[in-house]
Structure 1
Amino acid sequence: MRILILGGAGLTGPHQIRYALARGHSVTLFNRGRTLLPADLAGVEVLHGDRAAGELRALQGRRWDVCIDNPTTLPAWARDAAQQLAGSVDRFIFISTISVYADMRLPVTEDAPLLPYLGLDRYAETIDSVRASGFRLYGPLKACSEHEILRQFPGRAAIVRPGLIVGPGDASDRFTSWLLRVRRGGEVLAPGTGRDPVQVIDARDLAEWTIRLAEQGTTGVFNAAGPAQPLAFAALLETIRGALDAAATFTWIPASFLAAQQVAPWSDLPAWMPGDGDAAGMMRADIGRALAAGLGFRPLVQTVRDTLAWFDALPAPRRAAVRAGLAPEREQAVLAAWRAARQGVA
């Protein structure tokens, strides 16, 4: 196939490219050219343009079998790309997010209602305005972007809604911070009861499945999270400890106590959400439709080890500036407060 990837230099893109090339496909990227591709992909064709400025001229006069849109958040980007490519691409795969759903209190299926956009003009939103909203606009704008793709590619589009994407190349450190903390050993602040569900997907599993969707001509809407069977947060931390042979112990602290200590799920403790409350369904997405469409998962142990190997190969200044997780002194303060509270109860 001839595959066009919008973006392609972020977390999932390089994995998509490698997998597609290994399976005999040709790949073209369209991006601004500001992020360098890994050295092993330096020969891939890249067309340059700026979607924020509506600069799509490089896409004119070409044909592809399928387009994979990785980075779009803004409906204007989705509208412009879809209009430009509607006559030159047979099928479109749009990478959305699990955050599009209106009600995350319960497990979500692909047919659940989506967040409405309540702003003044969805086409006037910018990445800066998304950041200024504290990313509250992220889900609604992704939902609007999905609509733009489906409008231009009726019956010819696949919408993929991933959960937390992890693995080698993840610059957010949301998952990696847990690996680093467990590897450091000692007493680890473990949030909740240990029974809270958690869903993650290795970027390579997501990327490779996306290429297979393209090969099979699959259309429809799919939640994309893992693993195949439900995973509790305690099992996640124990898997990490076992994979790294780490000398770590876990002290489980209830969500209510963490809230009183102003320790927030997801932001302070990434990848964790309490098993009840307004976001309880965020880590319980129904993935049955994706499994039926061929989504598969490598062992979590492999994701853990490969992610750390990738992180350990980064330059020292980058490794010294972990971008997620509690600072060690903050973690120790909360653990001390929990011990004092427990002594007071006793």
Structure 2
Amino acid sequence: MLGGTEFVGRAVVEAALGRGWEVTVFHRGRHEPPPGVGVLHGDRTAEGGLKALSGPDLAPWDAVVDTWSGAPTAVRDSARLLADRAGRYVYVSSGSVYAFPAAPGRGEDRPVVEGSPDDGGDVDYARAKRGGELAATDAFGERALLVRAGLILGPWENIGRLPWWLNRVARGGEILAPGPPGLELQYIDVRDLADWTLDAAEAGLHGPYGLVSPPGHTTMRELMETMVRVTGADAELRWADPDFLTRAGVEPWTELPVWVPPGGDLYDTLHRSDVTKALAAGLRCRPFAETAAGTWEWLCSLGGEAPLRPDRPRHGLAPEREAELLRSLAG
């Protein structure tokens, strides 16, 4: 496991350990990996940073899982180094590699953005992930599996979407709930992503797979009401229709995480993807109640404060901004 101490990487490691697999984690040493793994240290961005992966005493690995989202050269160099030492290379990519806007109901045949395995330095997220895909495929060919994940939620989340919502709901009171309540959502629980990824690697699957729940796996109503139940909050949901939120200048996705107004290109891209291929390959998606409960339990174990990646924007409405919107909503 390249990484393996945070969010997706950690979920994959935990799932592999739960199967009794032997796991080696290669990371920079900034965070503690789960107990029970072998540990190798190195910095993929530094000169000679992969040295620990090339020792003569290292046994070959059946599979490598890589979640890197920075410069594709890091994936390129790792994949080239491991091409003769690992059976398969699993690169956790993103649905962001698809060209925007994406027509609703399309799967892995959608056009993708440009990218290069030789991209270094500052490239945007979509191009970085596409470059990582090309790097993995160039080195491993049909031994490369590309996991194009959609919105990922669940324990260990270091982006701050579901943790923000859970903490906001836990504070109680009147809560601005973005509507319509029946708005259908797609996401993938990180534990379901991990389980499917390990199953797919073991089965020898290759090429791209879009990984997210079927459209309508949950709704905004279920998401909001479930969080109220899970946290036990004394909360009142005040539903606001999309037109009100748009007129008020609320930023979808960031100020109100997960939510985007229906009917536009962004909604179709994020919440109307076809996942027939992954479902046929065994994808199972747990109900949102389990995702919310697992994330809340993890948050409580940390005292309510989730660790956040410094390279991602902060999510959620400021309290004073929410209060202003609630007053406006009340007329």
Higher alpha-carbon deviation: 57-66 or 81-90 = 57-66
When the two chains are superposed, the root-mean-square deviation of aligned CA atoms in Å is 2.3
The question of whether the paired residues in 1 share the 8 Å contact of 2:188 and 2:211 is answered with yes
Matches within 5 A, 1:14-163: 14-38=10-34, 41=35, 43-54=36-47, 55-60=49-54, 61=56, 62=58, 63-107=60-104, 108-117=106-115, 123=118, 125-126=120-121, 129-130=122-123, 137-163=124-150
Instruction: Tell me, in whole angstroms, the C-alpha distance in 2 between the residues paired with 1:190 and 1:197.
Output: 14
1:329 corresponding residue in structure 2: 320
Question: How many residue pairs align between the two structures?
Answer: 320
Residue 282 (structure 1) aligned with residue 270 (structure 2)? yes
Cα gap change, 1:94 to 1:226, in 2 (>3 Å): same
- Offset of residue 338 of structure 1: 2.4
Deviations along 1:207-230, one digit per CA (max 9) or x if unpaired, are: 122111122122121111126754
Instruction: Tell me, in whole angstroms, the C-alpha distance in 1 between the residues paired with 2:107 and 2:70.
Output: 21
1:208 corresponding residue in structure 2: 195
The question of whether the paired residues in 2 share the 8 Å contact of 1:270 and 1:324 is answered with yes
Instruction: Tell me, in whole angstroms, the C-alpha distance in 1 between the residues paired with 2:87 and 2:111.
Output: 28
Which segments of 5 or more consecutive residues in structure 2 lack a partner in the other structure?
A: 309-313
- Offset of residue 172 of structure 1: 2.3
Matches within 5 A, 1:118-267: 123=118, 125-126=120-121, 129-130=122-123, 137-226=124-213, 229-267=216-254
The question of whether the paired residues in 1 share the 8 Å contact of 2:218 and 2:288 is answered with no
Partner letter of residue 79 of structure 2?
A: A
Cα gap change, 1:125 to 1:262, in 2 (>3 Å): farther
Task: Provide the identity percentage.
Answer: 40
- Offset of residue 153 of structure 1: 1.4
Instruction: Tell me, in whole angstroms, the C-alpha distance in 2 between the residues paired with 1:319 and 1:164.
Output: 18
Residue 312 (structure 1) aligned with residue 307 (structure 2)? no
Residue 296 (structure 1) aligned with residue 296 (structure 2)? no
Cα gap change, 1:227 to 1:167, in 2 (>3 Å): farther
Cα gap change, 1:125 to 1:81, in 2 (>3 Å): same
TM-score normalised by structure 2 residue count: 0.88
- Secondary structure (helix, strand or coil) at the match of 2:299 reads helix
The question of whether the paired residues in 1 share the 8 Å contact of 2:231 and 2:296 is answered with no
The question of whether the paired residues in 2 share the 8 Å contact of 1:201 and 1:227 is answered with no
Instruction: Tell me, in whole angstroms, the C-alpha distance in 2 between the residues paired with 1:319 and 1:101.
Output: 29
Instruction: Tell me, in whole angstroms, the C-alpha distance in 1 between the residues paired with 2:215 and 2:103.
Output: 18
- Secondary structure (helix, strand or coil) at the match of 1:53 reads coil
Q: Which runs of 4+ in 1 moved over 6 A?
A: none
Partner letter of residue 46 of structure 1?
A: V
- Offset of residue 139 of structure 1: 0.8
The question of whether the paired residues in 1 share the 8 Å contact of 2:25 and 2:38 is answered with yes
The question of whether the paired residues in 1 share the 8 Å contact of 2:158 and 2:307 is answered with no
The question of whether the paired residues in 1 share the 8 Å contact of 2:64 and 2:89 is answered with yes
Partner letter of residue 109 of structure 2?
A: D
Partner letter of residue 112 of structure 2?
A: L
The question of whether the paired residues in 1 share the 8 Å contact of 2:40 and 2:52 is answered with yes
The question of whether the paired residues in 2 share the 8 Å contact of 1:93 and 1:158 is answered with yes
Cα gap change, 1:226 to 1:94, in 2 (>3 Å): same
1:343 corresponding residue in structure 2: none
Cα gap change, 1:225 to 1:29, in 2 (>3 Å): same
Cα gap change, 1:237 to 1:97, in 2 (>3 Å): same
Partner letter of residue 30 of structure 1?
A: F
- Offset of residue 109 of structure 1: 1.0
Cα gap change, 1:58 to 1:109, in 2 (>3 Å): same
Partner letter of residue 19 of structure 2?
A: R
